[in-house]
C-alpha cells in the first residue's frame, strides 16, 4: 500500500525522468542505498595492534634499507679489497711493480742502444715482459665473478626484496589491510575476549 504523497512523488519523478533523462532516475535509487558497508568481521584490540605492527614491518621490508655513511664506506673498502684480491691471483702488486720498473729501464736502454742486435734483444725482453703482465691480468670470467660479488654485496646492503618476495609481501599486506578493516570487538570487564 502506498500513500498518496508517495504516488505523487513517483509521478513527478517519472515526469522529470522523461524530460531530463536517466540522471534523475538514478537519484532515488542512490538516495535509499547505503554507501557505507559495515565490516562483517571483528577482531580484538590486541589482534589489531599485532596486525598494524606487522603491516608497518612489512612496509619497511618492502622499502629496503638506506645504507649509512659508515656502511657505504665499508662497502667501498670491501670492493677495493675484492679488486685487489682478484688482481693478485696470478701476480702480486710488488712483482707487478718490479716488472713495470724493469720494463721502464729496458725502454730507456732501448734509446741508448747502439747496435741492432742490442735493440732486437731489448725488444724481445720488452715483449716478454708485456706478455707476462698481460697473462697476470684477471680473465673476463674472473672479472665477471668479481662484479657479481660486488652486486651481491650491494643488494645485501640495500636489503630490497626480490620480485617473488615483493609479490609475497604485497599479498601479506593486502591480507593485513583486510584484517584491519574489521571492526574492533569491545570487551566488558570480567569477560574473556578469546
pTM: 0.51
CB 129 within 8 A of CB 99: yes
Per the listing, cell 712483482 goes with 95
Average pLDDT over residues 103-117: 91
- Return d(Cα 78, Cα 152) in angstroms, integer: 12
Q: What is the pLDDT of residue 193?
A: 54
Rg (CA), the chain: 39
Average pLDDT over residues 164-174: 92
Q: What is the pLDDT of residue 53?
A: 93
| Three-class DSSP category at 67 | coil
Q: What is the pLDDT of residue 130?
A: 95
Q: What is the pLDDT of residues 22-73, one digit of tens each?
A: 444 445 555 555 565 666 788 888 999 999 999 999 998 888 888 889 999 9
Q: What is the pLDDT of residue 66?
A: 86
Higher-confidence position of 6 and 142: 142
Strands (DSSP E) along 3-149, which ranges?
42-43
Average pLDDT over residues 109-129: 92
Q: Which has the minimum average pLDDT: 7-21, 62-76, 81-95, 146-160?
A: 7-21
- Return d(Cα 70, Cα 66) in angstroms, integer: 12
> Average pLDDT, whole number, for the chain?
82
Q: Which has the minimum average pLDDT: 81-90, 168-177, 179-188?
A: 179-188
- Return d(Cα 132, Cα 138) in angstroms, integer: 12
Q: What is the pLDDT of residue 63?
A: 86
Kindly list the distances between the CA atom of residue 27 and the CA atoms of 14, 17, 20, 35, 48, in Å, as whole numbers in the listed order. 12, 10, 12, 13, 38
Taking each helix axis from N to C terminus, what angle separates 4-20 and 22-32, rounded to the nearest 10 degrees? 140
Q: What is the pLDDT of residue 23?
A: 46
Q: What is the pLDDT of residue 79?
A: 93
Amino acid at each position: 500500500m502506498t500513500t498518496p504523497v508517495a504516488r505523487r512523488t513517483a509521478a513527478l519523478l517519472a515526469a522529470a525522468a522523461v524530460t531530463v533523462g536517466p540522471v534523475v532516475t538514478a537519484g532515488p535509487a542512490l538516495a535509499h542505498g547505503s554507501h557505507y558497508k559495515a565490516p562483517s568481521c571483528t577482531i580484538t584490540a590486541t589482534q589489531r595492534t599485532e596486525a598494524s605492527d606487522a603491516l608497518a614491518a612489512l612496509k619497511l621490508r618492502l622499502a629496503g634499507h638506506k645504507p649509512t655513511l659508515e656502511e657505504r664506506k665499508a662497502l667501498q673498502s670491501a670492493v677495493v679489497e675484492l679488486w685487489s684480491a682478484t688482481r693478485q691471483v696470478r701476480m702480486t702488486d710488488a712483482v707487478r711493480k718490479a716488472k713495470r720498473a724493469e720494463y721502464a729501464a729496458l725502454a730507456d736502454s732501448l734509446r741508448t742502444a747502439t747496435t741492432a742486435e742490442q735493440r732486437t734483444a731489448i725488444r724481445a725482453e720488452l715483449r716478454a715482459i708485456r706478455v707476462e703482465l698481460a697473462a697476470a691480468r684477471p680473465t673476463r670470467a674472473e672479472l665477471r665473478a668479481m662484479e657479481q660479488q660486488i652486486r651481491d654485496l650491494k643488494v645485501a646492503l640495500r636489503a630490497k626484496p626480490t620480485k617473488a618476495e615483493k609479490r609475497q609481501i604485497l599479498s601479506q599486506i593486502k591480507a593485513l589491510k583486510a584484517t584491519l578493516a574489521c571492526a574492533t570487538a569491545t570487551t566488558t570487564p570480567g569477560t574473556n575476549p578469546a
